[in-house]
Amino acid sequence: MSGRDKLLDWARTRPGESVQEAQERRLAKAWETPTGWRYWSAVNNTEVGLWYTVCAFLFFLFAGVLALIMRAQLAVPDNDLVTADQYNQLFTLHGSAMMFLFGVPSFEAFSILVLPQMLGARDLPFPRLSAFGFWCFLIGGVFVCGSIYFDAAPKGGWFMYPPLATEYQDGYGNDIWLLGLSFIEIASIAAAVELIVGALKTRPPGMRINLMPLYAWYVLVVAGMILFAFPPLIAGDLLFEMQRAFDWPFFDPDRGGDPLLWQHLFWIFGHPEVYIIFLPAIALVATMIPAFAQRPLVGYSWVVLAAVGTGFISFGLWVHHMYTTGLPNVSLGFFSAASVSVAIPTGVQLFCFIATMLVGRATGNVPMLWVSGAFAVFVLGGLTGVMVALAPFDFQAHDTYFVVAHLHYVLVGGVVFPILGAIHYFYPLVGGRSLSPRLGKIAFWLAFVGFNLAFWPMHISGLRGMPRRVFTYEPGMGLELLNLVSTIGAFTLATGLAVFLWDVIRPKGRQPVSARNPWNAGSLEWATKIPPPPWGARTIPAVSSRYPLWQQENFVADYDAGRFYLPDAEEVKRETIITTVIDARPIQCLRVPGPAWLTMIAAGFAGGFFILGTFELYALAITCGALATATILAWLWTGTAVEPEKEEKDIGLGVTVPLYASGPASVGWWAMFITMIGDMAAFAGIVFGYYFFWTVHPEFPPPGSRGPGWEWPTIALAILVLAWAVTMGAQKAIRGGRERLGIALLAACLVLGPVGVAALAAGPWLTGMDPTAHAYPATVWVLVLWTGIHLAIGFVAHAYCLARALAGRLTARRDIDIRNTTLYWHFMFATVLVTVATIGGFPLVS
Amino acid sequence: MAAPPDDTLAALLGESSVLAPAGRSAAAIAELSWWLFGGATLIWLVVIGLSIYAAYFGPRAHDEAKVRLLVVGGGAVIPTLVLAGVLAWGLWLMPQVKPPLPQGAVEIEVEGLQWWWRARYRAETGETAVPVANELALPVGRPAVLRLTSPDVIHSFWVPALAGKMDMIPGRETVIVLEPTRTGVFRGACAEYCGASHALMSFAVLVMEPAAWEAWLARQAAPAEPPASAAAQRGMAVFTEYGCGACHAIRGTEADGDVGPDLTHVGSRRTLAAGALPNTPDDYVRWISDVHEVKPDANMPPFGMLPEGDLAALALYLDGLT
Amino acid sequence: MEDRMEDRSDAARREEIPDELQARRETIFMIPAAPAIWAAHFLASYITAAIWCAKVAGRTGALDGARWLVAGYTGVALLAIAIVGIWGFRHHSYGDATVPHDFDTPADRHRFLGFSTLLLAALSFVAVLFVGMVVVFTETCR
């Protein structure tokens, strides 16, 4: 039998089989998880989300062990358990791994795992993108962490301040940090795009925006923050690596650079990062509290307010990491004001949770214990946070152990404890069996007591004058006892985590499968049977309340009987429903792709590009980059915009929706739009560099230096605007059915783009601007470079569309490729305009 | 904690508590701190008490309308008012803790380097500046303006008992104003991670009565006295022979290096190697022969190949440079 | 569990929905409007002060002009946020239902969007005031 015949055979209802049995059999076939070694080609959110979560947790344990070594070193004064150099590697890697390999990824991992369940969707809209992100994360994470076994780990601190990290530390460590983590940041952004589209477009029919689970609100806010916070760091990484590898002096004061530029770019990322890590944990609390109290959360809108408000205000805090850099008092004041205001939404959330407990009937259980412990710890961290938000207090506390205590109270109380509670809470949903309440309590109390023993004394150590990041301290300063207690506490905390870990991994074969909905929760993810079947939702529900399991009659019975949408997979294909953003009206039945190796291969080549680049093997790196691009193109060609066998599909309950969509109705268009917003944020980071230099230098461009002139940039602008216009013309032609005209116009774009790039580069090239001479030419060149790389991607997009059109796959009715390309070029127009205005126009007016 | 014996490194470097201030700026911050600690304790007790009550002891079903008032009042209104007050206090304090540059202040240029401190007292009568290293002295009751720079990486100048910290950033000049209010010895340290031996970059600030301070400064300005004993004279010869003068200056001799600390009065300092060792002849021997054991990655090469006798003589000479 | 179901057989669920609300395309963009005004105000204040101290007054100069500019921005931002807040309040008080706005009706969605907008406007208002407070207390570029 051919593959098609086999599928047709599966699609037929068999004799003696009830309708429901046949539906479930077809769903199971469509969503079947590959077995054997092919298991690793899975892309479904339940597999990828689980791998992702497990890996993030392993990196957490790894970073925790590094911390234990540090605590052992500091247990007594003048200790020599590790050398200064090793210690510096330890704390750098501890911070970097906790932030980049645990904090952010654990949110994304967990959201990939449970968001579709919470939305009653079968999968996220781009499963292969999730898988690609996961493999990138794994490769990058192992690369960065593995370096310590070769005594080659980064040692510039997780903040990597130049000039120490650029010019005073040799070896590959800091390059590993830069390139390895840039690679992971790209994966993080990919996951953020996926989650935003998921929360906005894959909600079940009827789940209007006022009914969306709070977790999804937080996902939206946090993913949005990632989109604006990570790109400036990627821009900073680019500048940093250009300095380390090619001596472009962005941070070298002798040649017009400024170390503070890095601090700005880093903390524009670094402070929102804290909230990017913290808000998802609060989202978990907001998800669990109603189940503890057995009633809906009090103050839904207030929590939405808090999430959105925190998201915004957290971008106005970055300079509070730079209070002691000598900036004017007035600037410190502004950031102090914002740092203080961000406490308001945090307080609101906390009181909404307390209020819910007050009106409900509390059910004491282990997850609630973790949440209660989290409150006690986090509130103290928040209060010390208000202290360090005040510049005068921070002048003393900054870079001391007081801040170490503060940040661990915030991040362990605000993040780790809620996550551990959530693992206990959600474990049955993923693993099918419950964790042990007894072990859970032991783990909690060990961790809680250990944590406070470890970190509370650090407040005092800091006030007694112990700076951060010291590999040793001398006796007699009143620090011995405090540090010894901290070390004992750290090992107690580690024991608690070990008990927790044992509870998670211990064999549970003889233990009965957990009851369905064991916490009697009201939210959608608990509708599923346990252990959960691979298809996710048995049927995509019609939702009319915030807690369907509590508030909609017969919900579970209807759900089990498949009485909602898409109860079947008639064509044995993976399908989920796309709905509108505000009112969640169904508008498309989306076919999502199944298992594939391409994503893993693409991630492997992309990893090769970054890893080989780290070791200056540029030829091999570029080869890997080209192969990664080719793999991704193959993936796009075979896996996206697939021609459906029919135009529309009846998804049940009398609703028929199209199978193909393009433009704003399609998820692909949204993904492109959101990605490009993030891209603009990175571009803004680089442009910020240019104007930053103008602000800090008495004269910029420096007197006597030659700029690129205005002529060539203007010519480039004209050509590239033409390319943009022709792209729009090609879209119009193709959508109007004049495909041959469209092909001709696309071909013209293939010429215009490169000519435009050449004209853009001609300015600085012909005037002989040397990027290693001074920060001014370096900044001009990096803008040209950035724009050039983006136009090269635009070129690939044009070529792809041309090939699709020639292959007959890009037509008036199947136009998603050209529409996304045009959207990309709208952003290219903005990029080119700003670049030209900055490098060609600004020297004339300044 | 019991007071440490007087000759330990910690005692030599002096007091270092934020909450036992000896300067105007630090005193203002310490007062703010105590209020913040008290307020935070109170808020913590109320909020955590409330949440434990709600989670574990709350009778069933409080009236939702009343609880909503709690969210509005306890979650939004009261925090907003408290935060507004705290912010206003912080802003109002700023001109005290980071004041405008005062007139008639002691003027000092301080450089942070990997991993030591170079300072120059700006002369008040047009004479040349007085160079010192790894130890500062200030007159009590008179403000001092310190202009901070760094030729290599970012450091941060911090004397907890006197004031908050201020970074030293290559390519920039930052300023900190210290105004000591009582005499004593106060520990300073580098607070910004600056490489391998960041932990070994301390200094002492001696706050003295004005007359004693004048005497101290005059002493530091004077050239080194020639060595008296024969052993010390041999040490001086060793110093010259091994080219120590290429990096170190000893005013009054040929040695005029500018790379490492000025050693003209090194014997008068409370500690060696920026707070890494006490200051006895044995410590000189240890430092010179085994620099990197004491301070990893320090720029000075070790001179372990020196014959033992030379080393002892050199130590004696340097220790005598008071 | 039954009582929860009963709770929801509220009048709001069956309220008459005017056609204009059914048909209207609602926007989600009023929710971030007020914090976006806060962000614009914050950036404008920061950049103004930074450029003033770097290029106009010098690092020890007086802040005069920049203080008035920031005060002006603060006035404009507060006014704009108030307008957004009033817009939100009108939506929130549409019809006669009260919070929690959790029914599957266009009217409740309409009220929810309004209420969230109102709350964010209140937060942004306070946050802008906090930023404005800075120039009351700060007189120089030091």
Quote the CA–CA distance of C142 and C138 in Å, as a whole number: 9
For Cα atoms A178, A183, A184, give the angle at the middle one, nearest 5 degrees: 100
Which chains does chain B touch, 3 or more C-beta pairs < 8 A? A, C
For chain A, percent of residues with pLDDT exceeding 70: 99
Quote the CA–CA distance of B59 and A666 in Å, as a whole number: 50
- Beta partners for residue B139, in sequence order: B208
C10 has a pLDDT exceeding 70: no
Residues of chain C with Cβ-Cβ distance to B84 below 8 Å are 126, 129-130, 133
Tell me the pLDDT tens digit for each residue of A567-583: 988 888 999 999 999 88
Q: What b-and-e string marks burial along B278-299, b requiring 16 or more CB atoms within 10 Å of the CB?
A: bbebebbbbbbbebeebbbbbe
Nearest beta carbon to residue A259 from set B9, B32, B169? B169
Q: Indicate the pTM of the whole model.
A: 0.95
The size of the B-C interface in CB pairs under 8 A is 29
Residues of chain C with Cβ-Cβ distance to B87 below 8 Å are 130, 133
Q: Is C66's Cβ below 8 Å from some Cβ in A?
A: yes
pLDDT for the residue numbered C101: 79
DSSP 8-state secondary structure symbol assigned to residue B23: B
pLDDT for the residue numbered A361: 78
Task: Give the mean model confidence (pLDDT) for residues B195-210.
Answer: 96
pLDDT for the residue numbered A20: 86
Run of H or E including B190: strand B184-190
Under the banding of pLDDT at 50, 70 and 90, the label for residue A460 is very high
Tokens of A395: 């002048």
* DSSP string of A520-580, one letter each residue: ---SGGGGS-SSPPTTS-SSB----SSSHHHHSTTHHHHHHTT-SB----TTS--EEEEE-
pLDDT for the residue numbered A506: 94
Query: What residues contact B209, with CB distance under 8 A and at least 6 apart?
Result: B139, B140, B183
pLDDT for the residue numbered A21: 87
Question: Closest approach of chain A CAs to the CA of C69, in angstroms?
Answer: 13
Task: Give the mean model confidence (pLDDT) for residues A653-672.
Answer: 92
Task: Give the mean model confidence (pLDDT) for residues A733-739.
Answer: 93
pLDDT for the residue numbered A483: 97
Q: Is A843's Cβ below 8 Å from some Cβ in C?
A: no
Under the banding of pLDDT at 50, 70 and 90, the label for residue C9 is very low
pLDDT for the residue numbered B121: 94
Domains assigned to chain A: 677-845 (1.20.120.80)
B8 has a pLDDT exceeding 50: yes
Under the banding of pLDDT at 50, 70 and 90, the label for residue C14 is low
**In chain A, residues 48-87 whose CB comes closer than 8 Å to chain C:** none
Average per-residue pLDDT for chain A: 93
**In chain A, residues 346-385 whose CB comes closer than 8 Å to chain B:** 347-355, 357-362, 364, 368, 372, 375-376, 379-380, 383-384
Under the banding of pLDDT at 50, 70 and 90, the label for residue C22 is low
Place of tokens 């009965």: A512
Q: What is the ipTM of this complex?
A: 0.96
Quote the CA–CA distance of A526 and A542 in Å, as a whole number: 15
Q: Is C62's Cβ below 8 Å from some Cβ in A?
A: no
Tell me the pLDDT tens digit for each residue of C53-88: 999 988 888 998 999 999 999 999 999 999 999 999
Tell me the pLDDT tens digit for each residue of B21-71: 999 999 999 999 999 999 999 999 999 999 999 888 866 677 888 888 999
User: Please, are residues A202 and A125 in contact by the beta-carbon 8 Å criterion?
Assistant: yes
Quote the CA–CA distance of A312 and A301 in Å, as a whole number: 17
Task: Give the mean model confidence (pLDDT) for residues A475-489.
Answer: 95
Among the listed ranges A327-341, A549-563, C25-39, which one has the minimum average pLDDT value?
A: C25-39
Q: Is C23's Cβ below 8 Å from some Cβ in A?
A: no
Tell me the pLDDT tens digit for each residue of A335-353: 999 999 999 999 999 999 9
Task: Give the mean model confidence (pLDDT) for residues A642-657.
Answer: 90
Residue of B nearest to A253 (CA): B171
The size of the A-C interface in CB pairs under 8 A is 144
Nearest beta carbon to residue A334 from set C1, C131, C141? C131
Nearest to A196 by CA among A166, A225, A165, A236: A225
Considering only residues C108 and B297, tell me which one the structure prediction assigns the higher pLDDT.
Answer: B297
Task: Give the mean model confidence (pLDDT) for residues A475-501.
Answer: 96
Residue of C nearest to A554 (CA): C5
pLDDT for the residue numbered B175: 96
For Cα atoms A820, A821, A822, give the angle at the middle one, nearest 5 degrees: 90
B165 with A398: Cβ contact below 8 A: yes
Contacts of residues B28-31 at CB distance under 8 Å and 24 or more positions apart, as own/partner, are B28/A392, B28/B93, B28/B96, B28/B97, B29/A392, B29/A393, B29/A395, B29/A396, B29/B93, B29/B97, B29/B163, B29/B164
Quote the CA–CA distance of A619 and C55 in Å, as a whole number: 46
pLDDT for the residue numbered B239: 95
Under the banding of pLDDT at 50, 70 and 90, the label for residue B229 is very high
pLDDT for the residue numbered C24: 59
**In chain C, residues 123-142 whose CB comes closer than 8 Å to chain B:** 126, 129-130, 133-134, 136-140, 142
pLDDT for the residue numbered A3: 65
B84 has a pLDDT exceeding 50: yes
The 3 state secondary structure assigned to B33-82 is HHHHHHHHHHHHHHHHHHHHHHHHHCCCCCCHHHHHHHHHHHHHHHHHHH
Question: Closest approach of chain A CAs to the CA of C49, in angstroms?
Answer: 7
Task: Give the mean model confidence (pLDDT) for residues A269-282.
Answer: 93
Task: Give the mean model confidence (pLDDT) for residues A383-404.
Answer: 97
Under the banding of pLDDT at 50, 70 and 90, the label for residue C3 is very low
Q: Which of B82, B169, B203 to probe by mutation at the A interface, max A CB count within 10 Å?
A: B169
DSSP 8-state secondary structure symbol assigned to residue B208: E
Domains assigned to chain B: 9-58+99-218 (2.60.40.420), 230-319 (2.60.40.420)
C7 has a pLDDT exceeding 80: no
Query: What residues contact A623, with CB distance under 8 A and at least 6 apart?
Result: none
Measured over the CA atoms of residue A768, residue A771, residue A776 and residue A779, the dihedral's sign is positive
At how many degrees (to 10) do helices A417-431 and A259-293 cross?
A: 60
A93 has a pLDDT exceeding 50: yes
Residues of chain B with Cβ-Cβ distance to A393 below 8 Å are 29, 32-33, 36, 90
Quote the CA–CA distance of A744 and A798 in Å, as a whole number: 11
For chain A, percent of residues with pLDDT exceeding 90: 86
Q: Residue A89: what residue type?
A: Q
Under the banding of pLDDT at 50, 70 and 90, the label for residue C107 is confident
pLDDT for the residue numbered C71: 96
A204 has a pLDDT exceeding 90: yes
Task: Give the mean model confidence (pLDDT) for residues B141-154.
Answer: 96
Under the banding of pLDDT at 50, 70 and 90, the label for residue A2 is low
pLDDT for the residue numbered A516: 92
B1 has a pLDDT exceeding 70: no
Task: Give the mean model confidence (pLDDT) for residues A822-835.
Answer: 97
Query: What residues contact A111, with CB distance under 8 A and at least 6 apart?
Result: A49, A191, A195, A215, A219, A280
Under the banding of pLDDT at 50, 70 and 90, the label for residue B7 is confident
Task: Give the mean model confidence (pLDDT) for residues B204-211.
Answer: 97
Among the listed ranges A141-145, B293-297, C89-93, which one has the minimum average pLDDT value?
A: C89-93
Quote the CA–CA distance of A604 and A624 in Å, as a whole number: 9
A405 has a pLDDT exceeding 60: yes
